[in-house]
Amino acid sequence: MANLGGTFDASQVEPSKPQENLPPGEYRVQIIHSEMRVTKAGTGQYLWLEMDILDGVHTGRKVYDRLNLINPNQQAVEISQRALSAICHALGRMQVQDSEDLHFQPLMVKVAVSKSGYNEIKGYKPVGNATPPRAQAAPPVQQPYQQPPAQPGAQPPPPTASGDGPWRRMGQ
């Protein structure tokens, strides 16, 4: 029980409304808070990240992620290490000792809605590789590769990586 220090009159205050999920898409965010937390089972720890959306109609909304960095499930640890690496690459910080080194720097997140109905982060990338939120362009039609005729003294093009473009979080 807690004394409110007077009588609270709810008729004088607009009630809060439940917040809906963010639509799936890409958002420019910054990490504003992070901390290591103990897992529910008590067998590991995860890095909890709180991020603010920086622009658009959802400016100021928050998104969260958990990175299981200490866990008996090695696959969970590997997935989380890849996600942390993606954050570091997106921010140009290759070596960090404290998660605060990642705060207040813009990066892009890919947000999806999980089967259970909650927003979840599916990837991280630098701001420079961004596409506008809600851009749902059709995937390009794959054409068979045709080798261009060789030019005297020309260098072959660099190899390209397959996968999900610049997104660096995989496995979830």
pLDDT over threshold 70, residue 138: no
Residue 133: pLDDT band (50, 70, 90) is very low
Residue with the bigger pLDDT between 159 and 24: it is 24
pTM equals 0.69
Each residue's pLDDT tens digit, 71-86: 999 999 999 999 999 9
Residue with the bigger pLDDT between 130 and 113: it is 113
Backbone angles phi, psi at 11, to 5 degrees: -70, -10
pLDDT of residue 7: 92
Q: How many Å apart are CA 25 and CA 65, to the nearest integer? A: 16
- CATH class of domain segment(s) 20-129: mainly beta
The domains of the chain are located at: 20-129
Each residue's pLDDT tens digit, 11-65: 999 998 888 899 999 999 999 999 999 999 999 999 999 999 999 999 999 999 9
For 146-160, what is the mean pLDDT? 46
Q: 27 near 6, Cβ under 8 Å?
A: no
